[in-house]
Each structure stands twice: as structure tokens, then as C-alpha cells.
Homo-oligomer: A and B are copies of this chain.
Amino acid sequence: MRDAVAALVRDGDTVVIEGFTHLICFAAGHEIIRQRRRDLTLCRLTPDLIYDQMIAAGCARKLVFSWAGNPGAGSLHAFRRAVEKRDPPLELEEYSHFGMVARLCAGAARLPFWTLRDYMGTDLPTANPRIRSVTCPYTGEALATVPALNPDVTVVHAQRADAQGNTQIWGLLGVQKEAALASRRVIVVVEELVDQSVIRADPNRTIIPGLAVDAVVVEPWGAHPSYAQGYYDRDNDFYVGWEPISRDSAALKGYLDEFVHGVRDRSEYVERCGGLDRLRAASRVCAGVNYGY
């Protein structure tokens, strides 16, 4: 992870660490904090705790997002301090979920914009002039548009990939495929590195082709406190516990010192958490299908 971030994430980059609740790569976020990257434009539908931490750590110049809360547990207070008290100042570019999804679709399709039926009557286009409209060449009606999002680097966490980055994900898929294919550089972080024969045995599970991947990093538990279907459960206590930490900037700094700057890598982080076996997934293995002919 250290080498991948050092080589592929640069100051001033537009960075996407995707994963909708599922497979959020905290391991990459922590490494970016440790390497003290600055002036990043952070993009995610849901900034979640990972961007709250990166904002608190001073990595972010700008945030592009659609829902900035702590799911089921409260607020992202580092984010709120930045917006409400300019501490530190943070530029915002705001969409709805559909708008962010559409931006990544356009990016992955290498089109300059994407069309959607949305935003009429809302204040979002006023708050964000990059939400525009286009006239249908067939019906003449006006439809909303959002501009393509083409990140400098995207980090995708996955259950497994081969050494070339052919990546398989199951459970919630979010927008990982679109984000990876929209990006100039792609880092795939996996729970397990598998032999290519495992990928080839079930090609319909492959979400991201290796031809789009620049680095594959093996980082078990890399998505904690989010989860990896089939590997470990979401650490809901951590999300609930984040509320008081993030409320208090001293406590938040203390957290970063202990769990991010204070550890060398992910395995030390897992130790520091006192091990995470309590979250290990139960077994619910599905049957395979026949690819014969």
C-alpha cells in the first residue's frame, strides 16, 4: 500500500475512494493521511468516516459529494466544522446520488456529460452551476446534465483479484466499476490475491478488467470499519462511536495519532484495534453455475 500510494497518489490530485457502505477502503485513506498528501479534491457519493478523517488530517482542498452524514449514527463533524466554521476551509461541489452516479458513468464512457431527468424545482442547480441542461433532439424537452468525472486516481476495495488486477466483487457494487473505468490511475485493494484460474472459473463475477488497473494491493481487513461481504461484517459500534470523536477536534486528532500516524501499516492497525475477529463473516456460500458447453 505504501508504494502504491507513493507512486500513484499525488498532491493536488482528484481522488475517488468508492464503495457504497460496502468495501470502503479505509486502508488507502489512512496511507494517504500518513503520507501527508495535500490539496486533494476528494470525490465520493458518501464522504463517510474516511473522508471525515482525511478532511481532519488536512488532505482535502475540495469535496465533491452527494450525502455527507454518518449513516444511522449522526454527523461528520470534521466536515461540518470545515463548512460551518471554515476550520479548515473546504470547497464544496454538491450533487444528488443520481448526479454523482451519472458523472462517473460519463467519465467511464469518456463522454463530456451524462443526461438525467432530475433537479427540476430544486435549488441544487443554483448551488452548483455545473448542473446544466440539454434539449432532446427528438422531443424538444429539456433534461438535466452533469459533467463527466474523470479522477486522477481511484481506489477500489474488492474481495479478490488476480495479480493483473482482474477484480471480482459481490454484494453491493455501488459505482466501483464506473469509477475505476473513469479514472486515469486505478489502485485495487483486495482481501485476497487469487490465482488467475479462480477469476477465469467465473468470469461473470469480474467487475473491473485488469487492463484498467495500475496496482493491486493485498490488505486483509482493509475496509474496516466498513465491511466486505463474505469476509467481515460492518463495525456498527465504530460508526456510532465516531460521533463523539469527530465532534471534538482534539479527540479526532488523538484518534489519527493513535490509529493512523501511530501505526506503520494495516496489520498494525488491526492489532491496535485489538483484533477484529468478532466481525469475521459467517459462512453462506452459494452454489456455483455451469460454464460448460
A191 to chain B, nearest CB (A): 11
Interface of A is mostly: loop
> Chain B residue with minimal CB distance to A204?
B170
A137: chain B residues at CB < 8 Å are 113, 132-134, 145
Number of copies: 2
Are A281 and B289 interface neighbours, CB within 8 A? no
A143 contacts the other chain (Cβ, under 8 Å)? yes
> Chain B residue with minimal CB distance to A133?
B137
Are B143 and A111 interface neighbours, CB within 8 A? yes
Q: Which one, B130, B201, B229, contacts A291 given CB within 8 A? A: B229
Interface size bucket, A side?
A: 35 or more
A257 to chain B, nearest CB (A): 31
Which 3 A-B residue pairs are closest in the complex by CB-CB distance?
A230-B290, A284-B292, A202-B286
Write the residues of chain A forming the contact surface with B, with a CB cutoff of 8 angstroms. Answer: 110-117, 130, 132-139, 141, 143, 145, 147, 159, 170-171, 173, 198, 201-202, 204-205, 227, 229-234, 281-293
Q: List 17 A-B contacts (CB under 8 A).
A: A111-B115, A112-B136, A132-B138, A170-B289, A201-B287, A202-B286, A204-B205, A227-B293, A229-B291, A230-B292, A233-B293, A282-B292, A282-B293, A283-B292, A284-B291, A285-B290, A286-B290
